[in-house]
A and B are shown apart, each in its own frame.
Chain A
Amino acid sequence: LAKTTQPISMDSYEGQEVNITCSHNNIATNDYITWYQQFPSQGPRFIIQGYKTKVTNEVASLFIPADRKSSTLSLPRVSLSDTAVYYCLVGDPAVSGSARQLTFGSGTQLTVLP
């Protein structure tokens, strides 16, 4: 099971770009990388998923280098409402129903300051 390592916390200011990096040195060939956002007293919410290179959607970008041993979630122009915990997970879609995708670390607490 691929273990992930993220910074415990990060601070940023409104309007800045925030990059959160996750290390996953033992990622397997078929593993995808998924990021979630969690607000206090709520369930995590899916942000973005990728396998290699770069993925972009309406809220974030995900950069994955060629060796796939790390990934970086990029949040453009953050606002106060982006203050949350961000989790990085790796998993294998071929192992349907397994627990491979289901190990959440402690995540990264992002605090956006005015």
Chain B
Amino acid sequence: DGGITQSPKYLFRKEGQNVTLSCEQNLNHDAMYWYRQDPGQGLRLIYYSQIVNDFQKGDIAEGYSVSREKKESFPLTVTSAQKNPTAFYLCASRSLSGRGDQPQHFGDGTRLSIL
């Protein structure tokens, strides 16, 4: 089935450690996105990418980094500079072609906690 796969589902980070969250899509979508969601809150955009080897900062990019070396993959690294990384992280993708405003397709998220 086509879709977005995020892994791992749960992740624990020690203080001062970088961790990388995986996001893979087989929908042949051009654009990919990373969001952060805190309890009881909406989604906030961290980074997005329209094309391979290009990405833009969202509203809360500080303490995070991304890469887009392949169309189907958009990993997110939570660096030690992110002082409050505990959250639910969601990856999404979207086609940039076709009629109308193509909706986003989301993965099932990674829940990151600090040890």
Write the residues of chain A forming the contact surface with B, with a CB cutoff of 8 angstroms.
31-32, 34, 36, 41-46, 49, 51, 87, 91-93, 96-97, 99, 101-107
Residues of A within 8 A of B92 (CB): 43
If A96-B50, A97-B31, A102-B33 touch, whether A46 touches B105 (CB-CB below 8 Å) is: yes
Write the residues of chain B forming the contact surface with A, with a CB cutoff of 8 angstroms.
4, 30-31, 33, 35, 40-45, 48, 50-51, 56, 58, 88, 90-92, 96, 99-109, 111
By beta carbon, the residue of chain A nearest B41 is A106
Residues of A within 8 A of B50 (CB): 96-97
Interface of B is mostly: strand
CB distance from B16 to the nearest CB of A (A): 27
A51 to B99 alpha-carbon distance, docked (Å): 12
If A41-B88, A43-B109, A96-B50 touch, whether A104 touches B101 (CB-CB below 8 Å) is: no
CB distance from A45 to the nearest CB of B (A): 7
A44 near B101 (CB under 8 angstroms)? no
If A43-B109, A45-B106, A97-B96 touch, whether A107 touches B42 (CB-CB below 8 Å) is: yes
Can you give 28 A-B contacts (C-beta < 8 A)? Answer: A34-B101, A36-B103, A41-B109, A43-B91, A43-B107, A43-B109, A44-B90, A46-B103, A46-B104, A51-B100, A87-B42, A87-B43, A91-B101, A92-B101, A93-B99, A93-B102, A96-B50, A99-B45, A99-B56, A99-B58, A102-B45, A102-B48, A104-B35, A104-B42, A104-B44, A106-B40, A106-B41, A106-B42
